[in-house]
Amino acid sequence: MPAKTVYIETFGCQMNLADTEIVLARLGEAGYGVVTSAEEANLVLYNTCAVRDNAEAKIRGRLGDLKNLKQRRRKAGLDLTIGIMGCMAQREKDHLITTYPQIDLVVGTDQFVHMPQLLQQFEERGRLVATDFGDFEDKLWEAKRGEGVNAWVPIMRGCNYNCTYCVVPFTRGREKSRPAVQIEEECRRLVDDGFVQITLLGQTVDSYGKTLGDGTTLASLLRRLHEIPGLKRLRFVTSHPKDITDELLDTVAELPKVAKHLHVPAQAGSDRILRLMGRRYTRADYLRFVERARARMPNVELLSDFIVGFPRESDADFAETVSLMDEVRFGGSYVFMYSERPNTPSANIADDVPVEVKKARCNHLLDLQLKHQSEAYAKLLGSVQEVLVEGPSKSNQAMLHGRNQGNLNIVLPRTAADGTSRDHLIGHIAPVRLERNTSLTLFGDLA
């Protein structure tokens, strides 16, 4: 086995994926090669999520497997270093080290950028926990990105909203924005490297700039990045309803490179539940945002998140959420059953909605979302969409996959009728006439 090999598995959001890319770059600088399985590696890292209990349960299962692998390695006279990083590491800290003796490093959501130095400290002093919040935003960190046309760029970290169910303020810390000049430099490098679609990331990305103190906003950042030659499309996720300003909506509507797609979680349609969640807006506030967005961009696609089975959610509360979905008709929705998170304010409220009720409500919303999508997709058939072609479809290598301005999933044949390959379209915007659909995908061909 080579002296330095790393296997890393990433759970959770795009921010974690971006963090993993930075870790791989730092480890590459230290001489580590990337392998595709834990059995091949002498360093195994799990970049973890703590938003829901089932995400953490997966990690605990993986740790059981690694315990057996580490024991086998020791019998063979070989080392295996195991590290837990990310939000679960930040939340549980020393508890992970004491509970799982197979873990060697626990590395938090800021300290992962120092992974080579932490590994050196482990070699010198033994098992360690590094979970202090640090100076991640003060430097432009290199990242080891995969092939393709898409790149993720974190522009801020943390959150100041303290929703009662959420661990992000504890695991990512207070809101911190990166300087615009640093973000622009990173994006220019990415375009030079062949990435033509960039997605800006933040836990509440539309509040970007507040901590900089120089008047910078997400709208002004979008205008700055829009001028980068060679960049074809800009996206951003995830937004909070309170921070969607008219300036931001006007900017999205005006700039052709900015996708007409807004991921703005509603979480619930009942004012009573929204208050219990600490969301700081009402149903009427959310509907006013929808009206403002669609007045400027009639074809904007709105994406939402919903939590069902929140403590004290009654049938009437859930009916309000259903009616909100019916009224807005989202382009997509992520639906989750409430999962109590330790030390959050909602953990002090009895989790009184039965699991079977949560499951039924979850399935109801998912079915309703698919119904809305199918109906919306059917209305688009025959239209021509500007599709940024991203590469071969993962489910069918004979097709190319891409997304339009509204983030809709569109596929087209990879080979023309005369047998000519269309791979040259990858990374370019192509006009695609839509011909048929399922509830999740639109199919077409070049117009």
Q: How many Cβ atoms sit within 10 Å of the Cβ of residue 114?
A: 16
How far apart CA 269 and CA 286 sit, in angstroms, is: 9
How far apart CA 92 and CA 401 sit, in angstroms, is: 39
Identify whether the C-beta of residue 108 lies closer than 8 Å to the C-beta of residue 128: no
CA angle at 426 for the pair 422 and 428, rounded to the nearest 5°: 110
Domains for the chain: give ranges and CATH numbers. 5-130 (3.40.50.12160), 137-380 (3.80.30.20), 384-446 (2.40.50)
Identify whether the C-beta of residue 346 lies closer than 8 Å to the C-beta of residue 311: yes
How confident is the model at residue 316, as a pLDDT? 98
How confident is the model at residue 136, as a pLDDT? 65
- Spell out the residues 6+ positions from residue 104 whose beta carbon is closer than 8 angstroms to its own: 81, 82, 83, 122, 127, 128
pTM attached to this predicted model: 0.94
Identify whether the C-beta of residue 327 lies closer than 8 Å to the C-beta of residue 304: no
Structure tokens at 402: 């891409």
Identify whether the C-beta of residue 413 lies closer than 8 Å to the C-beta of residue 399: yes
How confident is the model at residue 134, as a pLDDT? 76
Q: Is 402 left (phi over 0), alpha (psi -120 to 50) or beta?
A: beta
- Give SS3 for 371: helix
Q: Tell me the pLDDT of the chain (447 aa) as tens digits.
A: 557 999 999 998 999 999 999 999 999 999 999 999 999 999 999 999 998 888 899 999 999 889 999 999 988 888 899 999 999 999 999 999 999 999 999 999 999 999 999 999 999 999 999 999 876 667 888 999 988 999 999 999 999 999 999 999 989 999 999 999 999 999 999 999 999 999 999 999 999 999 999 999 999 999 999 999 999 999 999 999 999 999 999 999 999 999 999 999 999 999 999 999 999 999 999 999 999 999 999 999 999 999 999 999 999 999 999 999 999 999 999 999 999 999 899 999 999 999 999 999 999 999 999 999 999 999 999 999 999 999 999 999 999 999 999 999 999 999 999 999 999 999 999 999 999 999 899 999 999
